[in-house]
Chain A
Amino acid sequence: MKQTSMIDIISPVMVGPSSSHTAGAIRLGLLAKNIYNEVPDKVTFKLYNSFAQTGKGHGTDKGLLSGVLGLNVDDIRIKDIFNSELAKEFEYEFQYLEDFNRHPNAVDIIFEGRRNMKISGNSVGAGEIEITNIDEFSVSLTGKYNTLLLIYKDVPNMISRVTNSIHVNIASFHCDRYAKGEEASMCICLDGEINQKIIDFLYLIEDVYMIRYIKKLES
């Protein structure tokens, strides 16, 4: 059985009203911001199913935007985020959709800017979240671990070259690709931390296109 903590039961300190529809939405936004890691020109949020139907009443829209703006779950500015100066940083739009092949609380966060990126995820209950796709790659990010994400060319020995360089215990490991020899993704959840030196070193590996070091979210 997985270890659980008493602290999780009496927290988080968060703005209401719903752990899945408010806190989960904020955390999805935050994690997406950390993955995109640039200032976008425009962000489009596509809310699905229960997120779309009850999102307004739960402040899901405010939560998602606040997360992308970098606010944490206990920030009282979230309530009035649409009127805040902060929200003028980029253009944003919300779309409300129904697709029962998607999770009840699913969202696509589409960034447009110097680089375009589509990040999809779900709020899975009690404020817990998962990012399931980045562009067309399947990934598995929960915000509970420091995570290294790489986009690279699918060639032999890539995994060993990367893992040989990081010297930190790996909690979980996930790879995906478009097709043999094309673009691929590697998502590595770590027990510890890595420093900039290691990231710089990883950039020296041939055929690595993009690296993101995504810090775990505060609980």
Chain B
Amino acid sequence: MNKSINTFKELAEVCQENNKQIYEVTQKYEAELADITEKDIRQIVKKSLDAMKESIKNGLQCKEMSISGMCGDDCDRLQKKYQTEGAIFGKTFEKITTYALATIEENLRMGKIAACPTAGSCAIVPSVLIGVSEDFNISEEDQINALITAGTIGRIISTKVALAGAVAGCQAECGVASAMAAGALTQMRGGSISQILNAVALAMKNLLGLTCDPVCGLVEIPCVKRNPFLAIHSVTASELALAGVESKIPLDEVIDALEQTGKLMSPLLKESSQAGLATTKTALKLKQTLFK
């Protein structure tokens, strides 16, 4: 098992042949790669998990604006709304959406976060994993298992597509984060390997073509609000997969489509802020007032 696994088909085969979970296969491989113990690998993962929890905690209490002054107080707004009127989908929905805003707002005010897979998409995986863990009494060990699963999904995708808006658009940042969260959540809820990979495929398929057109070139508009949206999106994918809904297009082929879509996407829509939301009348006005 000391060979790098670079497709989801291979991953499923290795798991099934050895009767192992994705995180078990990964932690063994990573330990061999870095020449350390599996326990050490889990400790490194825990460091990211702890940082994620800290960003949520800090973000929930803060409404300081970003350097640009464009974003930073929406998590506070959402918490106040839920205090007076709960979300129609219940407590866990409230947690996921507020945790996502808390984390991404910490990021834009130069607070400490764990990039997952990137800084601009850092709130999707933690808000889902930690929000659900709290409400369903998931142990820390199981949270680490889920985070390793998320990382494995992102790593395999990254062998084909660079996880950067400048290379493949937001589908490769927030899109991949949502796919990672969908798979990790499905694993955490006891889904089979096939259900996990279907959740990833369902989430990813639905986000193909998502562009990266940040207003004023900053990780703020539309990135901030996209995080809570796509956190909930990953829960939908997980529910469908756990019900036995399958992606008719196998996951590896979905990733091929992701790669192709990224290549075909105009450079104007890949983090260069030369089209889309970034060149709307209001965005251009904001840019003038910001960078005088």
Binding site for B on A (CB under 8 A): 1, 3-20, 22-23, 50, 53-54, 56-59, 62, 74, 76, 78-79, 104, 125-127
Contacts and interface: CB of A to CB of B under 8 A. Distances in A.
Interface in B50-84: 51, 66-68
Contacts of B151: 6-7, 9-10
Contacts of B122: 16
B192 interface: no
30 contacts: A1-B4, A5-B33, A6-B26, A6-B30, A6-B148, A6-B151, A7-B45, A7-B151, A8-B155, A9-B151, A9-B155, A9-B163, A10-B116, A11-B115, A13-B48, A15-B111, A15-B113, A16-B107, A16-B109, A16-B119, A17-B66, A18-B219, A20-B166, A22-B110, A23-B119, A54-B217, A56-B67, A57-B66, A57-B217, A74-B112
Contacts of A104: 166
Contacts of A13: 47-48, 51, 112-115
A78 to B, nearest CB: 7
A13 B47 CA distance: 8
B218 A57 contact: yes
Contacts of A12: 114-115
Query: Max chain A CB contacts within 10 Å: which of B159, B180, B219?
Result: B219
Interface residues of B, number: 54
B115 A7 contact: no
A15 B219 CA distance: 13
Contact of A17 (B4, B167, B180, B218): B218
Given A18-B120, A59-B67, A3 B111 contact: no
A127 B115 contact: yes
Contacts of B154: 6, 9-10
A125 B216 CA distance: 19
Contacts of B217: 50, 53-54, 57
Given A4-B155, A54-B216, A74-B112, 17 more contacts: A3-B33, A6-B148, A7-B41, A10-B125, A11-B114, A16-B106, A16-B109, A16-B119, A17-B109, A17-B218, A20-B164, A23-B119, A57-B68, A57-B290, A78-B110, A126-B117, A126-B118
A50 B270 CA distance: 13
Nearest to B115: A19
A104 B291 CA distance: 18
Interface in B16-41: 26, 30, 33-34, 41
Interface string B161-202: 011101100000000000010000000000000000000000
Interface in B111-144: 111-120, 122, 125
Query: Max chain A CB contacts within 10 Å: which of B106, B162, B164?
Result: B164
Nearest to B108: A17
Contacts of B279: none
A201 B291 CA distance: 53
B152 interface: yes
B44 interface: yes
